[in-house]
C-alpha cells in the first residue's frame, strides 16, 4: 500500500470513528446551537461515563496504589505564580496575522502545510528543493521567530483564507488572561497545567508526609490553553483535563523500592540515539533501559513501567504505544531526562503522557520568587564532618585595586563554586596572580594573592538541607480517551451482510454503560422482570440502559454495540434471561436473581467471559 492510499484509509477510518462518536453523543462540539467555538468540546453522556471510568482507574492505579497525596487547587491563578514558573514569559506560540483581515495563524503550521503540500502535490519539484523542504519540516520546532518569518516571506506564503500577505511572526501567550477581584489591578490566568498548585504547596505536603522523602502528590483538574487556531479535533483543544503526579525525591538517591515489580516489563522504547540515527523503536525491558543508562534513573523507569500498565490495562494496543525520549533540543535545559508515552492513531504518533525528571527547577523557581524555602532536610544519625569552602575577599586590598568596582569584584569572588575557587587558588599559588571574570562588570580583572584567601575547612553538620528533584508524569486525559476510541473501534457485517455495523470493543473497566436490559417482546410481565433486574443492578452500582421500545433485537444489539456496552440482557422468560457478550456474540442463560452478580463479576474484571461461559448453559438464538 502506498503512502497516499494509507493516508486515505486513515482518513476514512477516522471519519467512521468520529462520526459514530458524534452521533452517539460521546462528544458534542460545545455551544453547537451558537455555531460552536473552535477547540471546545462537551463530553456527552457516554463520553462523560468513559472519562469518569478512566479517572477512577487512574486514582486506583496511581493515587491509591502509591498512597499519593491528592490535592485539588483552583484554575484561577494569580500572575506571580506563573511568572515564577516561566509561563508568563515563555508559554507562547509564534503567530502571524493576515495583514488585511487580522485573522491569526500559527506561523509553524503555515510553513508545515506549505512544505507538505509541495512535497505531496508538486510534480515539478526538484530533488534539491524537496530535500530542502524535508529539512525544514525536520527542524520546524527549532526555528526562531526571525527564521520562521524569513521562510514564510521567502516561500511567498500567503494567508490561506484570503491570499493576503502576512505579518512577521510574533509570540502570542497561550494562557487565558483574566482579572481577579473588582479593582482590575490583580491580573490572573486560567492555569495552563495543574502542577504549579502542587509545587506551591510543597512545604505543607512535605510536613503532612511526616517530613519524609520520597512522596508523590497528584492532581486531576481542568487546564487551559488559548490555542491560536486549534486543529486535530479532539486532540488539540482549548480546555482539557490533566492528571498530574509530582513525585519528590532526594536528588542523590533516585532509586525506587518497587522498581523490581516493573523491571521485567518489555515494551517499545525509542531512545534519543535511535531517533537521531534513524533506527526504529524497539522492545527493551525497562530494567535493562535503566541499567544501561538509557533511562536516567529507577524512579523515572518505575513510572514509565506504571504508565505502560495503566494505558494497556485501559485497552490501548501495546503495539501502537511507544515511549519516546526527548531529543536534546526538545528538553528544557533543567530537565535530567524526559520521555513521552506516544500512542499511534489516525493522526500519527500522539504524545499522551509526558514523564519528565524536572530536577529541582520548579521548587527553586518558587523558592526564589516567594522567599519561602521549599527544601527538604535529611537529619544525620550522627553529626558528619564535611568540608566547607571558605572564600574570604580582602576588602582593603580590593578597594585599593578596584575603587568603585570593589563591591562587584567581592560579590563575584564570593559567588564562585568549589571547582572555580580551587582552580583560582591553584593559579594564585603558582603564579601570584590570575585573570578573573566579573560578569557584572562584563570584563576580566587581575586578582593577586593578597586579595583573597581560599581554603577548605572541616565542619560538623547535623543535617543536610536540599531542594528535592521532581519526577512528573503528566496525563492528557482527553487524548488518551480519543486514542482509546480509535483502538477500540471496529466494524463487522450485519447478519444479512448488507451493512457494516460499528462496535466499540471497550474493556468493561472503560465501558460507559455496563449492560443493557430489554424485554424480547413488549409485554407487562417481561417489563416487570426488566425493571426488577434494573433495580438489582443499581443496588450493586452498575450502570445500565433499559430499552422497552419494540425495536427488533438485532437493531437493539447494534445500538448497544455502537456504545461499547459489553453485555446485553434479554428478558425472554420470567425466571431466566439471556446474557449476550458483545465481541463474541455468545449467549448464556442465567436465572433472574443471579443476573446482577454475574454482570458485576464480569464488569469488575473478577471473571473473564470465559470463566462465566463455563458455568452457565449457552443459549443459541
Among all chains, which residue has been given the C-alpha cell 455502537? 562
Binding a copy of itself (rule: CB under 8 A), the pick from 15, 78, 139, 348 is: 78
Residues 441-470 that bind a copy of itself (CB under 8 A): none
Of the ranges 97-105, 111-119, 285-293, 613-621, which one interacts with a copy of itself (CB under 8 A)?
97-105
Least CB distance from residue 341 to a copy of itself, whole Å? 23
Binding a copy of itself (rule: CB under 8 A), the pick from 17, 54, 81, 195 is: 81
Binding a copy of itself (rule: CB under 8 A), the pick from 156, 182, 293, 417 is: 182
Q: Report if residue 178 touches a copy of itself, rule: CB under 8 A.
A: yes
Instruction: Report the alpha-carbon distance of residue 106 to residue 112 in Å, rounded.
Output: 10
Q: Report if residue 519 touches a copy of itself, rule: CB under 8 A.
A: no
**Do residues 434 and 402 touch, judged by C-beta distance below 8 A?**
no
What residues pair up with 589 in beta bridges, in sequence order?
Answer: 578
- Of the candidates 379, 378, 375, which has an alpha carbon nearest to the alpha carbon of residue 467? 375
Of the ranges 98-106, 111-119, 127-135, 428-436, which one interacts with a copy of itself (CB under 8 A)?
98-106
- Is the peptide bond prior to 214 cis by the omega test (within 30 degrees of 0)? yes
Among all chains, which residue has been given the C-alpha cell 509526558? 354
Binding a copy of itself (rule: CB under 8 A), the pick from 179, 392, 525, 618 is: 179
User: Which spans in 258-321 are helix H?
Assistant: 272-276, 286-291, 298-314
Residues 229-288 that bind a copy of itself (CB under 8 A): 229, 238-239
**Do residues 486 and 233 touch, judged by C-beta distance below 8 A?**
no
With respect to a copy of itself, which residue has the nearer C-beta, 44 or 285?
Answer: 44
- Of the candidates 472, 525, 251, which has an alpha carbon nearest to the alpha carbon of residue 375? 251
Q: Report if residue 540 touches a copy of itself, rule: CB under 8 A.
A: no
Least CB distance from residue 266 to a copy of itself, whole Å? 25
With respect to a copy of itself, which residue has the nearer C-beta, 74 or 554?
Answer: 74
Would you tell me how many other CB atoms lie within 10 Å of the CB of residue 184? Answer: 8
- Of the candidates 269, 261, 277, 260, which has an alpha carbon nearest to the alpha carbon of residue 293? 269
- Of the candidates 79, 154, 68, 70, which has an alpha carbon nearest to the alpha carbon of residue 110? 154
**CA angle, 472 then 476 then 477, to 5°:** 120
Q: Report if residue 412 touches a copy of itself, rule: CB under 8 A.
A: no
With respect to a copy of itself, which residue has the nearer C-beta, 270 or 310?
Answer: 310
Q: Report if residue 474 touches a copy of itself, rule: CB under 8 A.
A: no
With respect to a copy of itself, which residue has the nearer C-beta, 99 or 227?
Answer: 227
Report in angstroms the alpha-carbon separations of 464 from 210, 460, 559: 17, 11, 63
Residues 102-141 that bind a copy of itself (CB under 8 A): 102-104
Of the ranges 59-67, 278-286, 410-418, 523-531, which one interacts with a copy of itself (CB under 8 A)?
59-67
Q: Report if residue 541 touches a copy of itself, rule: CB under 8 A.
A: yes
Q: Report if residue 73 touches a copy of itself, rule: CB under 8 A.
A: yes
Binding a copy of itself (rule: CB under 8 A), the pick from 17, 20, 21, 47 is: 47
Chain center to CA of 496: 44
Q: Report if residue 552 touches a copy of itself, rule: CB under 8 A.
A: no
Least CB distance from residue 502 to a copy of itself, whole Å? 16
**Do residues 215 and 206 touch, judged by C-beta distance below 8 A?**
yes
Judged by DSSP in three states, 520 sits in coil
Q: Report if residue 67 touches a copy of itself, rule: CB under 8 A.
A: yes
Contacts of 40 (CB under 8 A, 6+ apart): 29, 30, 31, 237, 238, 239
Binding a copy of itself (rule: CB under 8 A), the pick from 19, 52, 455, 608 is: 52
With respect to a copy of itself, which residue has the nearer C-beta, 55 or 137?
Answer: 55
Residue 443 has phi, psi (to 5 degrees) of -160, 170
Of the ranges 26-34, 259-267, 274-282, 306-314, which one interacts with a copy of itself (CB under 8 A)?
26-34
Amino acid at each position: 500500500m502506498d503512502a497516499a492510499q494509507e493516508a486515505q484509509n486513515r482518513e476514512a477510518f477516522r471519519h467512521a470513528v468520529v462520526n459514530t462518536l458524534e452521533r452517539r453523543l460521546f462528544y458534542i462540539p460545545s455551544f453547537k446551537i451558537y455555531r460552536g467555538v473552535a477547540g471546545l468540546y462537551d463530553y456527552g453522556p457516554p463520553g462523560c461515563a468513559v472519562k469518569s471510568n478512566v479517572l477512577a482507574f487512574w486514582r486506583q492505579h496511581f493515587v491509591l496504589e502509591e498512597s499519593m497525596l491528592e490535592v485539588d487547587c483552583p484554575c484561577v491563578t494569580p500572575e506571580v505564580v506563573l511568572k515564577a514558573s516561566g509561563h508568563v514569559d515563555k508559554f507562547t506560540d509564534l503567530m502571524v496575522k493576515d495583514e488585511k483581515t487580522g485573522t491569526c495563524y500559527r506561523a509553524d503550521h503555515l510553513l508545515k502545510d506549505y512544505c507538505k503540500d509541495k512535497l505531496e502535490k508538486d510534480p515539478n519539484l526538484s530533488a534539491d528543493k524537496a530535500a530542502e523542504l524535508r529539512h525544514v519540516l525536520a527542524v520546524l520546532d527549532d526555528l526562531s521567530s526571525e527564521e520562521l518569518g524569513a521562510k514564510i516571506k521567502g516561500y511567498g506564503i500567503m494567508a490561506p483564507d484570503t491570499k493576503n500577505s502576512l505579518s512577521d511572526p510574533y509570540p502570542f501567550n497561550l494562557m487565558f488572561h483574566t482579572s481577579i477581584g473588582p479593582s482590575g489591578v490583580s491580573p490572573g490566568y486560567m492555569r495552563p497545567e495543574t502542577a504549579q498548585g502542587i509545587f506551591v504547596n510543597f512545604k505543607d505536603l512535605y510536613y503532612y508526609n511526616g517530613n519524609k522523602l520520597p512522596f508523590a502528590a497528584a492532581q486531576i483538574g481542568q487546564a487551559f490553553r488559548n490555542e491560536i487556531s486549534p486543529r486535530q479535533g479532539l486532540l488539540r483543544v482549548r480546555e482539557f483535563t490533566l492528571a498530574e503526579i509530582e513525585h519528590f525525591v532526594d536528588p542523590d538517591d533516585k532509586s525506587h523500592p518497587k522498581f523490581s515489580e516493573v523491571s521485567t516489563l518489555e515494551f517499545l522504547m525509542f531512545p534519543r540515539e535511535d531517533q537521531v540515527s534513524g533506527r526504529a523503536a524497539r522492545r527493551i525491558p525497562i530494567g535493562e533501559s535503566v541499567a544501561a543508562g538509557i533511562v536516567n534513573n529507577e524512579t523515572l523507569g518505575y513510572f514509565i513501567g506504571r504508565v505502560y500498565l495503566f494505558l494497556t490495562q485501559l485497552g490501548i494496543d501495546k503495539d501502537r504505544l511507544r515511549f519516546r525520549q526527548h531529543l536534546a533540543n526538545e528538553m528544557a535545559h533543567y530537565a535530567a531526562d524526559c520521555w513521552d508515552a506516544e500512542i499511534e492513531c489516525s493522526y500519527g504518533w500522539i504524545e499522551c503522557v509526558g514523564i519528565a525528571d524536572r530536577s529541582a527547577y520548579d521548587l527553586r523557581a518558587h523558592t526564589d520568587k516567594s522567599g519561602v524555602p521549599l527544601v527538604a532536610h535529611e537529619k544525620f544519625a550522627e553529626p558528619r564532618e564535611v568540608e566547607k569552602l571558605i572564600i574570604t575577599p580582602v576588602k582593603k586590598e580590593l578597594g585599593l585595586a578596584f575603587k568603585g568596582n570593589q563591591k562587584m569584584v567581592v560579590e563575584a569572588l564570593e559567588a564562585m563554586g568549589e571547582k572555580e575557587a580551587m582552580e583560582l587558588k591553584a593559579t594564585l599559588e603558582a603564579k601570584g596572580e590570575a585573570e578573573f571574570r566579573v560578569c557584572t562588570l562584563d570584563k576580566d580583572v587581575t586578582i593577586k594573592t593578597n586579595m583573597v584567601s581560599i581554603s577548605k575547612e572541616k565542619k560538623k553538620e547535623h543535617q543536610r538541607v536540599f531542594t528535592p528533584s521532581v519526577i512528573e508524569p503528566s496525563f492528557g486525559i482527553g487524548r488518551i480517551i480519543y486514542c482509546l476510541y480509535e483502538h477500540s473501534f471496529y466494524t463487522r457485517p450485519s447478519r444479512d451482510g448488507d451493512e457494516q455495523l460499528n462496535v466499540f470493543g471497550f474493556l468493561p473497566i472503560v465501558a460507559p454503560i455496563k449492560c443493557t436490559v430489554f424485554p424480547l417482546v413488549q409485554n407487562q410481565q417481561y417489563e416487570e422482570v426488566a425493571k426488577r433486574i434494573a433495580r438489582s443492578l443499581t443496588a450493586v452500582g452498575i450502570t445500565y440502559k433499559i430499552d422497552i421500545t419494540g425495536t427488533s433485537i438485532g437493531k437493539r444489539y447494534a445500538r448497544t454495540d455502537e456504545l461499547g456496552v459489553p453485555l446485553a440482557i434479554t428478558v425472554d422468560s420470567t425466571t431466566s434471561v439471556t446474557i449476550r457478550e458483545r465481541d463474541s456474540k455468545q449467549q448464556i442463560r442465567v436465572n433472574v436473581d443471579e443476573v446482577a452478580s454475574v454482570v458485576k463479576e464480569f464488569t469488575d474484571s473478577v471473571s473473564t467471559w470465559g470463566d462465566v461461559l463455563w458455568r452457565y448453559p449457552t443459549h443459541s438464538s
